[in-house]
Amino acid sequence: MATTAEASADGRMTLMEHLAELRRRLIISFVAIAVGAVVSWIVYPQIIEFLLRPYCDTKSTAENCRLYVQNPLEPLGVRLVVASYGGVIAAVPVILWQLWRFIAPGLKSSEKRYAIPFMFSGVGLFALGGGLAYWSLPRAFQFLQSLGGASFQEIFSPLEYVGFVIKMIVAFGIGFEFPIVLIFLQVLGIVHNRTLRAVRRYAIVGIVVVVAVITPSGDPYTLMVMSVPMYLFYEIAIVFGRVRERRQKASVAE
């Protein structure tokens, strides 16, 4: 077995070094989440006002824009949920960077140049997905409320409502990381571009099924709003793979 010095010299890491590195990256990520949770706890009034806005937009008056507490401990539960998810969302840049630093030693020098694009695109796509979810929420509420008819008067509890809204935002944010996953699977050689082209028809069905599962509302409007961008991202990943293959062939030819 190669020693640590020998493993470092030839660019390889032992199993124990991999585990130590993974632990280090996880600790940094958890610390970032904890810091984000503390900040979210402090700015809770501003966050809850932001989360209530999609529901209030469906109401004609501010008087109707109320959530009803059903349990004495519910306000505490809501604040804990907001702090927890807020910590994760705030720590997304740190988590993505730690993920990159963990996989970077196994990449070629030509592949390590994707670090900055990986970071910016990952954070940007997560924000784009979360923003799209937030924008679609009033329409999703209107659709879901219309299903019951005019005889129904909805009364939402804070914990259920806040959990629903945050899960929608996080689901969209994670879903929009889809193209990055496909691109880096191609870069690492795990998935070939021609495979992605061959399974296009199945990919469309798979995307719709996955979106239906991960989105809490399950309404057709939300399904369409998330499925269409994800399929466009699928096509973008294919285009990236084709361009990359042509550059590789041109480089070999030279």
How many folded domains does the chain comprise?
1
Asked, for residue 2, whether it belongs to a domain, the answer is no
Asked, for residue 93, whether it belongs to a domain, the answer is yes
Asked, for residue 155, whether it belongs to a domain, the answer is yes
Asked, for residue 43, whether it belongs to a domain, the answer is yes
Asked, for residue 91, whether it belongs to a domain, the answer is yes
CA distance 66 to 59: 10
Digit-by-digit pLDDT tens for the chain (254 residues) are 334 433 444 456 677 887 888 899 999 999 999 999 999 999 999 999 999 998 888 776 556 678 888 888 999 999 999 999 999 999 999 999 998 888 877 777 777 777 788 888 889 999 999 999 999 888 888 877 777 666 777 778 899 899 989 988 998 998 888 888 888 888 777 888 888 888 888 888 998 888 888 777 667 778 888 888 889 999 999 998 888 888 877 777 76
| Residue range of the domain that includes 202 | 8-253
Asked, for residue 3, whether it belongs to a domain, the answer is no
Grouping H, G, I as helix, E, B as strand and the rest as coil, residue 241 is helix
Q: Alpha helices of the chain — where are they, by DSSP H?
A: 4-9, 15-42, 44-56, 74-90, 92-103, 115-148, 158-175, 178-187, 193-198, 200-214, 220-253
Asked, for residue 1, whether it belongs to a domain, the answer is no
Global confidence as pTM: 0.80
| Residues 6+ away with beta carbon under 8 Å from 34 | 87
